[in-house]
Amino acid sequence: MKFIDNVDIKRYREFESKHEKSHFLQSYEWGQFCKNAKGQIPCYVGMEDNDGNLVASCLILLRRTPFGFSYGYAPRGFVLDYSNKDVINEFTNYLKQYMKDNKIIYIKFDPDIKYQDIDDDGNKIDGGENNYELYNYMLSLGYKHTGFYKLYEGNQPRYTFRIDLKKPWEEVEAKFNKSFMKSVKRSYSYNLVVDNEVRVEDFYRLIQSNSSKDDFDPHSLEYYKIFSEEMAKDNNMKYFNISIRPKELLDNISKEIDELNKELEVNKKKEADIKNKIARLEKEKDIFSGIDKDEVCVCSLICTYTKTHAWSLYIGSDDLANFTFAVTRSYYEAIKDAYNNGYLFFDLFGTPGDPKTKYKNLAKLHDFKRKFGDEYIEFIGEFDLVNNKLLYKMLPLMLKVYRKLRRK
């Protein structure tokens, strides 16, 4: 086999995007995004078999240190057949030499590999499938596993919900939680407008609204602009924007109130129920009356893709989105779109490994994502391939000191 330290762009894309282990985090576009938004150095490496066919590829993102070395991260890498130990072994040996030649302290990777089958509470299923043998094999090759963390301690979430789209749509939809489908149906009563325009400013406004409520720091507007520009180049990204038309809603609400008042005159048996509906509609009327725009975007979901797989990555929404069930609708539209376009699965990209976590925002996130009702997945986790053991141990302290000196 032959190692390639700079795979041709077209060849890299062709292999990575169609592989069973393809991932948007291993795409050529993600590497360019990280270069332009984060200052990382993308390296596209691979390995050929004896017939000249690519059998492995990997995007490695390098960060330079001030002392002449670098360290790397291969997000959701490597892209190869993990059932073929010879390929893993050969690729590992090549990487070890590549690290020595390029003064790389270590490379971290976290493959898209399930560790073990788990139930809805995150507990191991006795007799279920697992990849313990692969885990032990990676250790035997010299990889260091960084731990089986439950929350978001690593570079990527170690747990996710993934929806199988290879089934008929009726079976996919049947897995959705009843409350989720009820919210989807209720969203149609608000005549929501769905579009796929790249609306970076709207998205940023909405995610800022989320951050103030859920206590997290979003990236900068420039970050999302670069992301949208780079990831759109090979159709690797799509926005699902949900908007309301206040004037149209107000007209519909007024008509509904008039009809209910007429019904109230002739149907005294349901007086209490009718009055409650009128009170709810009057409240909605007050809310929408305060908006002076013809159309307002209230939710924006950003999804990413390879040729066969889909992920929901970022979402921004405001209070009106919750009121009109726009968040639920955005996910429903994105999942159905992925199904209609022949993707094999839709990944909700991250959830806690402890559904009963003390962190309320994470528990809330988990409760929402489990409504989609498909597979709860525990990934195998992060591995470090270490080249320089001394610098590997010293690196965290060295970087801490360096950053402290830079701030002075």
- Look at residue 290 in the predicted model and tell me its pLDDT: 84
For residue 114, pLDDT beyond 80: yes
For residue 94, what are its two tokens? Answer: 């090549």
For residue 269, pLDDT beyond 80: no
3-state secondary structure of 243: strand
Residue range 205-225: mean pLDDT, rounded: 89
Q: Residue 44: how many CB atoms within 10 A of its CB?
A: 21
Instruction: Go through the domains of the chain in sequence order and give each one's CATH number.
Output: 2-111+381-407 (3.40.630.30), 159-247+286-377 (3.40.630.30), 248-285 (no CATH)
**Out of 66-75, 264-273, 275-284, which region has the weakest mean confidence (pLDDT)?**
264-273
- Look at residue 402 in the predicted model and tell me its pLDDT: 67
Query: What are residue 77's phi and psi, to 5 degrees?
Result: -90, 175
For residue 144, pLDDT beyond 90: yes
- Look at residue 147 in the predicted model and tell me its pLDDT: 95
- Look at residue 406 in the predicted model and tell me its pLDDT: 61
- Look at residue 405 in the predicted model and tell me its pLDDT: 63
Whole-model pTM: value is 0.92
For residue 400, pLDDT beyond 90: no
For residue 377, pLDDT beyond 80: yes
Question: What is residue 130's DSSP assignment?
Answer: B
Query: Are the beta carbons of 121 and 355 closer than 8 angstroms?
Result: yes
3-state secondary structure of 297: strand
> Could you tell me how far CA 92 lies from the centroid of its own chain?
28
**Out of 60-64, 95-99, 210-214, which region has the weakest mean confidence (pLDDT)?**
210-214
Q: Which of 92-101, 147-156, 254-263 has the highest mean pLDDT?
A: 92-101
For residue 404, pLDDT beyond 80: no
Residue range 162-189: mean pLDDT, rounded: 95
